[in-house]
């Protein structure tokens, strides 16, 4: 969807002014929240598919799943200090 200014006030400028913040900061925060929500939606979808696969008696490759999540920066690998 494209945004076209049709006259009136720019809602981003208004939001920044109301918050006493720079437009760049408001846009950066909104973009970060949007990206986080997309990742969350992807995680939920992947979880649902894993559950359905389990219910069908199929298995998933957990190593491949975690490797992908690490590569995407969604989780970090930490060695277990107890081992």
Three-state SS at 1: coil
> Is pLDDT above 90 for 63?
no
What pLDDT was estimated at residue 50? Answer: 80
> What is the tens place of the pLDDT at every residue in 17-56?
999 999 999 999 999 999 999 988 888 888 888 888 888 8
Burial 12-29 (b: 16+ CB within 10 A, else e): eeeebeeeeeeeeebeee
Q: How far is 27 from 15, CA to CA, in rounded Å?
A: 10
C-alpha span between 48 and 43 (Å, rounded): 9
Average of per-residue pLDDT across 71-76: 77
pLDDT at 57 over 80: yes
Mean pLDDT of 59-63: 77
């Amino acid at each position: 969807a494209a945004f076209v200014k049709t006259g009136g006030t720019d809602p981003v400028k208004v939001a920044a002014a109301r918050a006493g913040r720079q437009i760049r900061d408001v846009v950066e925060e909104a973009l970060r929240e949007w990206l986080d929500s997309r990742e969350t939606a992807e995680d939920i979808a992947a979880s649902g598919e894993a559950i359905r696969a389990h219910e069908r008696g199929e298995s998933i490759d957990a190593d491949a799943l975690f490797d992908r999540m690490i590569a995407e920066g969604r989780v970090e690998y930490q060695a277990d200090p107890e081992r």
